[in-house]
Amino acid sequence: MSNSTHERTLIDFLAVLRGKSSVFCYKDYLQTAELVTKIAQEIEKEDKIPVIRICWNENEMDSGNFSGNTSSFYIFRNFTTALIKIEKMLSQGKHLIIVSDISYLEKDQNSRPYIRFLSILLRKSEEYGSAMIAMVGEKCSNPLVKAELIPYFKNEFLLAEGKIIKNREEFPDVKYTIKGDNLYLKPSMQDDVNKIKEIFSLTPEEKKELDRIVGESLEEYRTSL
C-alpha cells in the first residue's frame, strides 16, 4: 500500500479525535500504551499544540517522548488545585490532554473523587476545544469508571487483533502497525479489496484450480448435512 494511503487514513483518523475526548479500551496494555503515545505524538506534531499529562504515579511525571512544551500533573487528592491550573491553561489556547491508564483507579480505592475530577476535566477540555485521550482495560472492574466516566467520552474505541474499532457512529475499522518510531494506519477493508484483486488477476489455470477447491468444499458441506 502506498504511503499516501497511510497518510490519508492517519489524517482522517486524527480528524475524528481533534477537539474531542477519546478513550481506547484495550486487552494488551503494553501494545495500547505504545499506540496511544504514537497517536498523541501525531496530534502534537500536526496541530503544534502543548501537551498536558494527567498522571496517577509520580514516576510518570517526565515528559517522555513529547516535546518540551509539556506539563505533567500528578493527581493525588489535589483535585481542585489541579483543575484550576489546567483550566487556566486551557483558557489560553488548545491543548492535548493525555490521561494515564484509568484502570489504575481500582474499585477498592476511594476512586470517586478521581472519577469526579476526570468528569469535570472531560467537560472543560471540550468546552475549550481541546482534545483528550485516555485508555482503560477492557476488564476494568471499577463500576464507577464504566457507569460515570466511559459513556461520556465522545469517541470510544476498542483495540483488538491489530484493529482500531469505533464503538459509536459509523467509522471504518482501521488496522495499525508500529514500525520503529512510525505509526501506520490503513482501512481494514483494504485487505479484503486486495484479496478480490488477487482473485481477478489469476490466470485461467489458477481460476480453474480455485473453482475446483471451492466445489470440493461445497460438496463436503452438502454430504455432512
Chain segment 98-138, per-residue pLDDT in tens: 999 999 887 556 889 999 999 999 999 999 999 999 999 98
Tally of domains in the chain: 2
Q: Are residues 217 and 167 part of one domain? A: no
- Give the 3-state DSSP-derived string for 162-208, with helices as H, strands as E and coil as C: CEEEECCCCCCCEEEEEECCEEEEEECHHHHHHHHHHHHCCCHHHHH
Handedness of CA 181, 30, 8, 13 (dihedral sign): negative
Q: Are residues 18 and 47 part of one domain? A: yes
Total number of residues shown for the chain: 225
What does the alpha-carbon distance between residue 145 and residue 111 come to, in Å, rounded to a whole number?
A: 9
Q: Are residues 198 and 174 part of one domain? A: no
Q: Are residues 120 and 83 part of one domain? A: yes
Cβ pair 130, 19 in contact under 8 A: yes
Query: Which CATH number is 63's domain given?
Result: 3.40.50.300
For residue 46, the number of C-alpha atoms closer than 13 Å in the C-beta half-sphere is: 17
Amino acid (one-letter) located at 211? D
**Domain region containing 181:** 3-187
Q: Are residues 27 and 47 part of one domain? A: yes
Q: Are residues 209 and 129 part of one domain? A: no
Q: Are residues 130 and 86 part of one domain? A: yes
Mean pLDDT check: name the lowest of 93-97, 190-194, 209-213.
Answer: 190-194
**Which parts of the chain fold into alpha helices (H)?**
3-17, 29-47, 79-91, 112-127, 143-148, 189-200, 204-224
Q: Are residues 214 and 140 part of one domain? A: no
**pLDDT tens digit string along 137-180?**
988 888 888 888 999 999 999 998 888 988 766 677 889 988 88
